[in-house]
Amino acid sequence: MEIAPASDFTAPLTVLYHDADLVAVYKPAGWLVHRSAIARHEKRFVLQRLRDQIGQHVWPVHRLDQGTCGLLVFALHKESCQQLAQAFATQQVQKTYLALARGWLLDTTHVDYPLRPEDSAPDAPPQDAQTTLHGLATLDWPESYDPRHPSTRASLVLARPHTGRRHQIRRHLKHVAHPILGDATHGKGPLNRWWAERLGGQRLWLHAHALELAHPRTGEPLALCADWRQLAHVPEVQQWQQMLRLPGWNDLENLPPSCGVI
């Protein structure tokens, strides 16, 4: 499989939703949400690009890791920022991610495993963290990575974090022995490289797919989605769909319609 090229730095961001109070965009993999003192060499920032693209100031209300692609929301004024930030901080937003993980994760697993902040002192107390993991489909790749097994397994996992700890989904999948493929921090380097050769390139296979929240002004339910059927032009979506067209997949009919393979 030859992986689709990375997102073009010069291309406009794809806007998924826009009203007077908030805007949702598709964040390409490899982009930072905003400038950071610890990443001075980086040049791709969603906040600055979006501000220039729509011609007004935007406020970040949540974060995605640099390697994660998908749905990202910004507020368009201070009142909306306060409402949205509070909703994320108090777990009033339902978040849905998709991940390609090692091995077969079958059925549904609720992970209740406290996490210590990664940049904290070794004796810092861990924080409550809960994630629901649901195995959507399984891949039985006909080559062997481990000589003890005739083939190599992977899973498409739907993850719903109920708390907002840093790297929570990545750390919880590692905790249940199903690390995300391409995760250089919490996965296995040799296995990541082995899969990268077969998937056409190195990347973190984690996608922020959907959010459900109350609208910050009206309070009405708002469902936002990085619907793959509407994002055929996005390189990362092309990569996901190329991966799902590989031989050896089972149960792809379990995917939600928004993951329809083009």
Task: Give the tokens for residue 149.
Answer: 């097994």
DSSP state of 9: T
* Residue ranges of domains in the chain, CATH in brackets: 14-255 (3.30.2350.10)
Q: Is the dihedral of CA 222, 226, 227, 231 positive or negative?
A: positive
d(CA 91, CA 95): 9
Residue 52 pLDDT > 80: yes
What's the rounded mean pLDDT across residues 69-92?
A: 97
For residue 128, the SS3 value is: coil
Report the catalytic residues. 65
Burial code (b: 16+ CB inside 10 Å, e: under 16) for 10-41 equals eeebbebeeeebbbbbbbbbbbbbeeeeeeee
Q: Residue 204 — pLDDT band, cuts 50, 70, 90?
A: very high
**HEC profile for 161-178?**
ECCCCCCHHHHHHHHCCC
Residue 80 pLDDT > 80: yes
Report pTM.
Answer: 0.93
**Per residue in 116-168, pLDDT tens?**
987 777 778 999 999 999 999 999 999 999 999 999 999 999 999 999 999 99
Average pLDDT, the chain: 92
